[in-house]
Amino acid sequence: MKLIIEELEEKQKILIISTRKYPFLDILKNNLKKLNSEIYFSSLIPKSIQDFDYCFVINEKVNFKNLNYSKKNHIVHIFLKKSRFSPQSPFVGKIVICTGDFIREHEIERILWFSFSKSDEKQLLINNPSLTKKHIPPALIFPWKISLSFKSLIILVISLTMLFHVLFILPLIMASFYSYQAYNSLKKEDYQSTEILLSQSFRAYYLARLLYMKVRPTYLLFSIALFPDTTIDILDKGLQTFQQSLSAKKNGEYILKLLLKKGKTETEINETKLRMQNIQKQLASIEDNLTGLVQKLPLQFNLTTNTKKQLLETIDGLHRLNKLFPHITGILQNPDEQKFLLFFANNMELRPGGGFLGSFGILRIWNYTVEDIEIHDVYDADGQLTAHIEPPMAVKKYLNQPHLFLRDSNFSADFSENYEKAKFLLDKEIRLRDFNGAILLTTNAVQNILAAFGNIYLPDFKETINKDNFYIKTQLRTENDFFPGSIQKKSFLGTLARQIIIQLEQASFQKIAKNVKKSLDEKQMVIFFEETNLQKLVDSFYWSGRVIQPKCSYQIGSCNIDYLFPYDANVGANKVNFYIQKSINDLINISADGNISHKLTIMYKNESYDKVFPGGTYKNYFQILLPKNSAIKQVTKNGVTIDEFIETNNEYKQLGFYFEVEAQKTAEIQIQYQLKTDLSKGKSLFQYVVQKQIGSSSPNFSMEIVLPQNFTIVNQNFSPLVKDNRMLYNTSLSTDKIFFIEIIRN
């Protein structure tokens, strides 16, 4: 066997010392690796280099007195950006001098050849340019000098001064844009985007304000500071309002969470109290800022017309809430249980007080805690009545009820009267008493509230409820196979109430507040409180469902009050009001001697189908309240005189009669009456109050006033069409209306 002997070459150890990471170091390392070497790198000069065969020192001076080395150690010094180098004794190794601050790849090869060669040469010079040297192209070098004449210098100074005086406009426009976008995001309840846009708007606003304040004295000098002052003030109030609204929202969410929590600690009760005080201040501040904002908004721009209308509605809601807030706090913080009756009125079976009372509930509150909401079927209570209570004539005659029960107790057009009857009946039926107030909600009010929740799933019934299907689902669940004593309606509505409370924290606060106010304004929800001062406040908002006692709002010469309140009672035991369309037209003639005659026409259209649930014939006991001194001339249905009607004279003249409207038919009710007034010579005030029934739809209402030649209209609080001493006004009777007309009789 032939033996082959190979001599293994031992790898050389090479150390590179550099305090900076130069670009050429990677090239140096790669080339050294090709030479089968072990490469080491250090940013500091070690005390000893005896373990290394070669040592490359980059741009550093070595103190050889303190360095431990031997003759076998080969040291190569590489200096950058030098043209020459004079070593001081003692000095060991070879020197590479580069005139530039970088080394190319082919120059690395020269350095390595020089480093590893055994020649006696000690220095290697590499001429290369510097990367950091700026090379200015000839085209950018101006060979001439710029010289300005005195006139040009003056123009330049004036131009710069003018520019400085309008510099604030750009950030002001940006701040306005971001604020408007924040307003739109807030309306859409996109609170995250609102906060981002608000932050951007604040930055732009502060810059605009800073720049404007520098030049404001000049604007004042020339009397042109009004517009920028107004714009900046609008922005300031708007931004403060946005910021406070977001803060109040977060505070309100936490308060709601605390109110719904049972068994609170003393700390949590105190926190709720402090947060209630804080949100009251926030709401008051928001109202003040919005009021100031509306006063500043210019009327002449169409862009602000709708915005201003929305702001006025918001201010009205905040004003009412701020007035109510101390009373709300008083109810919540009371250490004694506060108990409120809840009435659920089905206004698809309309009654004078809002609708058939199918269910009622009890809300219990004490010590900043909503303790419980109980829902009861009205038949649970009515089934326990043992005493005889005389019912109203219409209930006895048309509903064939010999006794008055809770379900028929809201047969008055005044909610306070119905509340007193309901309290009396509940005491007699199931010994429930000592209530602090009551709230009536119609089907429409519940639908308005559900609009803020979207879909609500009821796991016990495997049903999804929303504002659109609430009525139909409720009717199917409560009417099918119903019998007195059945618990299906109570169970269904109770489950829905509990799910609403559970999902309250996820609901839209903005929509809840807006829709609750809408329900109160439109009399789909009415409230009564036992506490006198609080009830007076609710009365002033027209939220209590009372029959108004008209009084002259202000005195101008003689004051003449006219009044109209028509209301229906479905006595057909069906839900046909879902299909009834109603319109009211009042033709008012004022004679030359100042007397007033009315020709009131009310149209009923029954769009239901006969014998198809929930429609059928509309059996209506109609009633109307008129001024006490009015004289009835004629009552007709479809042109045929109605002789059988009940007329009473108490505080008002009350007229009542029964009529029917068959399915797919129309009925025209016409009432003609006269009113003696004191429209004497000179200036007079004609005040006309028209009330809407609780729970009724919002019928179209048109009013035509015909004046003789000796009367002149001076002013009115509505916008009619006027031609040849005739005034025509159309509106929707969504709430109670009060019309003022100032008249001069010649």
DSSP 84-95: ---PPSS--SEE
Domains belonging to the chain, first-starting first, are 12-126 (3.40.50.2300), 156-301 (no CATH), 338-540 (3.40.630), 558-745 (2.60.40.3680)
Using 50, 70 and 90 to split pLDDT, how confident is the model at 223? Answer: very high
State mean pLDDT over 707-731: 90
Structure-model confidence comparison of residues 708 and 486, the more confident one: 708
Return phi, psi of residue 684, to 5°: -135, 160
pLDDT at 345 over 60: yes
Whether 168 has a pLDDT exceeding 90, the answer reads yes
Crossing angle of helices 24-34 and 105-116, rounded to 10°: 50
Contact 627, 563 (CB under 8 A): yes
Pairing of strands 700-706, 580-590: parallel
* Beta-strand pair 74-79/54-58: parallel
Confidence at residue 484, expressed as pLDDT on a 0 to 100 scale: 52
**Which pLDDT band holds residue 9 (cuts at 50, 70, 90)?**
very low
Give the number of residues written for the chain. Answer: 746
Question: Among 739, 733, 725, 745, which Cα is nearest to 691's?
Answer: 733
| Cα separations in angstroms, 442 against 448, 480, 499 | 10, 21, 19
Q: What is the pLDDT of residue 304?
A: 58
* Average pLDDT of the residues in 516-525: 96
Among the listed ranges 69-83, 215-229, 349-363, which one has the minimum average pLDDT value? 69-83
Single-letter amino acid, residue 386? T
Q: Could you tell me what percent of the chain has a pLDDT over 90?
A: 55
The H-or-E segment that residue 463 falls in is: strand 463-465
620 within 8 A of 661, measured Cβ to Cβ = yes
pLDDT > 80? residue 726: yes
Question: Using 50, 70 and 90 to split pLDDT, how confident is the model at 307?
Answer: confident
- Which value, to the nearest 10 degrees, does the dihedral of the CA atoms of residues 121, 123, 126, 129 take? -170
Q: List beta partners, residue 625.
A: 565, 654
Q: What is the pLDDT of residue 136?
A: 46
Residue 476: its pLDDT value, please?
78
48 DSSP assignment: B
In whole angstroms, give the CA distance from residue 9 to residue 617: 115
Residue type, 119: S
Helices (H), 91-188: 105-116, 150-166, 169-187
3-state secondary structure of 328: helix
585 - beta bridge partners? 601, 702
DSSP string, 643-664: ---EEEESSSEEEEEEEEE-TT
- Mean pLDDT calculated for residue range 55-68: 80
Q: Give residue for tokens 């006025």.
A: 312
Residue 5 pLDDT class (50, 70, 90 cuts): very low
E strand spans, 348-400: 356-366, 369-377
**Cα-flanking dihedrals φ and ψ of residue 56, to 5°?**
-100, 120
Q: Look over the chain and give the mean of its residue pLDDT values, rounded to a whole number.
A: 87
Q: Rounded CA gap, 526 and 514, in Å? A: 15
Does residue 75 sit in helix, strand or coil?
A: strand
Judge contact between 117 and 100, C-beta under 8 A. no
The model's pTM: 0.75
pLDDT surpassing 60 at residue 251:
yes
Q: pLDDT of 581-623, one tens digit each?
A: 999 999 999 988 888 999 999 999 999 998 777 789 999 999 9
Per DSSP bridges, beta strands 726-732 and 700-706 are: antiparallel
The reported pLDDT for the residue numbered 7 is: 37
CB 618 within 8 Å of CB 582: no
Q: Is 324 left (phi over 0), alpha (psi -120 to 50) or beta?
A: alpha
Name 578's Cβ contacts closer than 8 Å, sequence gap at least 6.
348, 471, 608, 614, 615
C-alpha torsion angle, residues 176, 181, 183, 184 (rounded to 10): 150
Q: In 10 A of CB 6, how many CB atoms?
A: 5
Contact 597, 587 (CB under 8 A): no
Please identify which residue in the block is written with the tokens 């010469």. 557
The pLDDT value recorded for residue 299 is: 55
What H or E segment, with its residue span, contains residue 682?
A: strand 682-690
**Rounded Cα gap, residues 479 and 516, in angstroms:** 27
Residue type, 302: N
Q: Which two tokens stand for residue 280?
A: 């009251």
Residue-wise pLDDT for 432-454, tens only, equals 999 999 999 999 999 999 999 98
- CA–centroid distance for 523 within its chain: 23
CA–centroid distance for 329 within its chain: 23
**What is the distance between the alpha carbons of residues 583 and 563, in angstroms, rounded to a whole number?**
18
Cβ pair 689, 561 in contact under 8 A: yes
How many CA atoms are closer than 13 Å to the CA of 662, on its beta-carbon side?
Answer: 2
Conformation bin of residue 414: beta by default, left when phi > 0, alpha when psi is -120 to 50: beta
- Of 365, 361, 392, 397, which Cα lies nearest the Cα of 376? 361
What pLDDT, on the 0 to 100 scale, is given for residue 130?
Answer: 61
Residues 6+ apart with CB under 8 A from 251: 275, 278, 279, 282
Backbone Cα Rg of the chain: 45
Question: Which amino acid belongs to residue 433?
Answer: R
pLDDT at res. 89: 63
How far is the C-alpha of 387 from the C-alpha of 384, rounded, in Å? 9
* pLDDT band (50, 70, 90) for residue 471: confident
Q: Give tens-digit pLDDT for 14-33.
A: 888 888 888 888 888 888 88
Identify the three-state secondary structure at position 163.
helix
Torsion 396-399-404-408 (CA) sign:
negative
Dist CA 191 CA 249 (whole Å): 10
Four-residue CA torsion sign, 663, 613, 395, 525:
negative
Residue 198's pLDDT band, with cuts at 50, 70 and 90, is: very high
